[in-house]
Amino acid sequence: MSVAKKMSVGQLTMLTAVNMLGSGIVLLPTKLAEVGGISILSWLITATGSLALAYAFARCGMLSRKTGGMGGYAEYTFGKSGNYITNYTYGLSLLIANVAISITAVGYIQTLFDIKLGSLEVGLATIALLWITTFANFGGASITGKIGAVTVWGVIAPVVLVSTIGWFWFDSSTYAAGWNPHDKTWYEAAGASVAITLWAFLGLESACANGDAVENPEKNVPIAVLGGTLGAAVIYILSTNVIAGIVDNAELVSSTAPFGLVFAKMFNPMIGDIIMGLMVLACVGSLLGWQFTVAQVFKSSADTGYFLPIFAKANKHGVPIISMLILLAIQTALALLTISPDLAKQFDTLVNLAVVTNLVPYILSMATLMTLQKVSNVPPKKALITNIVAGIATAYSYLALYSSGAEALMLGGVATIVGYTLFGFVNTRLIKLEALNNSVPTQTVAAQHIVGEPIPVNNLNLATLETRP
């Protein structure tokens, strides 16, 4: 009997870094230029917080015996409502993030083809791209995965190139002139870009999902997650700062395609256009994959009883088309509601809201580590170290919440409360499952491995409950 060859720790580290180096960085140089080069303070804070989050998530993945990712982690401390609200806010953050990715692509398309769209036209183009990438997924995940694996290099290659060879064009006087254009204090500068820098690291928790594909996961998964996160942090910091030393701050702030701009400065406009084309393809490929992923997040939660059954319905290819259409309608509404005369402003609004909603499952997962380690009989000294790291990650998460701004906090809070209202519609189903002694599936194999699919509880005949005393 052959045994599947597993990844080395080096391969998993590279995979982790690539997962984060997606379309999230495409507009970052422009957003950071609004603060200036002093925004490097935000990078250092975010890198520290992200490393703490990455390590804590690696520990959660090693110890949890429940399916459902972050929702399964939260259930240890917060019960089934914690599982639900974790997956709900995580799914919501992905919906919002996909709209932001679509806007990013539209911004690069404008510059690439030298066209100027009005705010309504940007909104309609954003919606059109969301519709195209949703309909393209109806055939299944196979083609989507292959396209994404190729197009992601349209972002990674330019970012790595500018981080390395870009220093030959770096001008210290240009960098110094854009260091602190608004005369912010160190404290103000440190907090000003925390939310937007965290945007680049969103998805770091997903790296822990490959624990069963690597040798000695107890040791190697934390190494890979920390190494991949640190590697991504170095590339992010290098690329955004070298760009700030090549392009004047005022020009960078007004750009909707900063990487195309910097390559045009380094080489010539034609090379800049090629880079913009690659990044448009990367954004479309990324959006194609994330549109499928977010539907799968909602489907898996519906399969285990937490979301409404309509999200679990799938065609013969396993594609939840009805779910995709519902989520597409929500994304269309988001794109229309956030229309702004300034594309960067619309992007900023969506990113801050995505960060706020994504931080809810982060904070709940960090809070559950103490319980998770207790039930897993982790030695007190080792548990103490992990709890300290989780405390650092939690403190950073609250700082990121604060830095997201009052509007994003208010809207994110309302969205989370709405989630609790929706929980009332599904909780009766969970009660029925408990009455059948067939609750949401719990993993009973080794903690670092998930074997088999969750029980599709939506297919159970719950009508028999009506005849039971």
Domains observed in the chain: 9-440 (1.20.1740.10)
CA atoms of 159 and 229, how far apart (whole Å): 16
**Whole-angstrom distance, CA of residue 355 vs CA of residue 201:** 10
Residue 319 has what pLDDT? Answer: 83
Give the separation between CA 85 and CA 191, rounded to whole angstroms. 27
Please name the amino acid found at residue 50: S
Burial 232-254, CB ≥16 within 10 A → b, else e? bbebbbbbbbbbbbbbebeebbe
pLDDT at 437: 55
Residue 318 burial by Cβ neighbours in a 10 Å radius (0-12, 13-18, 19+): exposed
Between the alpha carbon of residue 249 and those of residues 180, 182, 240, the distances in Å are 10, 11, 12
Q: Give the per-residue pLDDT at 344.
A: 78
Per-residue pLDDT of the chain (469 residues; tens, 9 = 90+): 444 566 677 877 877 787 787 767 888 899 999 999 999 999 999 999 999 999 998 888 888 888 777 888 898 999 888 989 999 999 999 999 999 999 999 999 998 888 888 888 999 999 999 999 999 888 776 677 777 778 888 998 999 999 999 999 999 999 999 999 999 998 888 888 898 899 888 878 766 655 556 677 777 778 888 888 898 899 999 999 999 999 999 999 999 899 999 999 999 999 999 999 999 998 888 888 888 888 888 888 888 778 888 898 888 777 889 999 999 999 999 999 888 888 878 888 899 999 999 999 999 999 999 999 988 888 888 899 999 999 999 999 999 999 999 999 999 999 999 998 888 877 877 777 666 655 444 433 333 333 444 444 445 454 444 444 4
Contact criterion met (CB below 8 Å) for 163 and 157: no
H or E element: which one contains 68? none
Q: Is the backbone of residue 116 left (phi > 0), alpha (psi -120 to 50) or beta?
A: beta
Q: Identify the CA nearest to 100 among candidates 135, 121, 120, 129.
A: 129
Whole-angstrom distance, CA of residue 24 vs CA of residue 28: 7
Q: Hey, which residues does 66 pair with through a beta bridge?
A: 442
Specify the DSSP element, H or E, that contains 351.
Answer: helix 343-375
Is 273 within 8 Å of 102 (Cβ atoms)? no
The two structure tokens encoding residue 300: 């898996």
Question: CA 356, 359, 363, 364 torsion: positive or negative?
Answer: positive
In whole angstroms, give the CA distance from residue 229 to residue 127.
32
CB 426 within 8 A of CB 419: no
Give the residue ranges of DSSP H helices in 113-257: 119-135, 141-151, 153-164, 172-177, 186-192, 194-199, 217-244, 249-253
The angle that helices 258-266 and 217-244 make with each other, rounded to 10 degrees, is 60
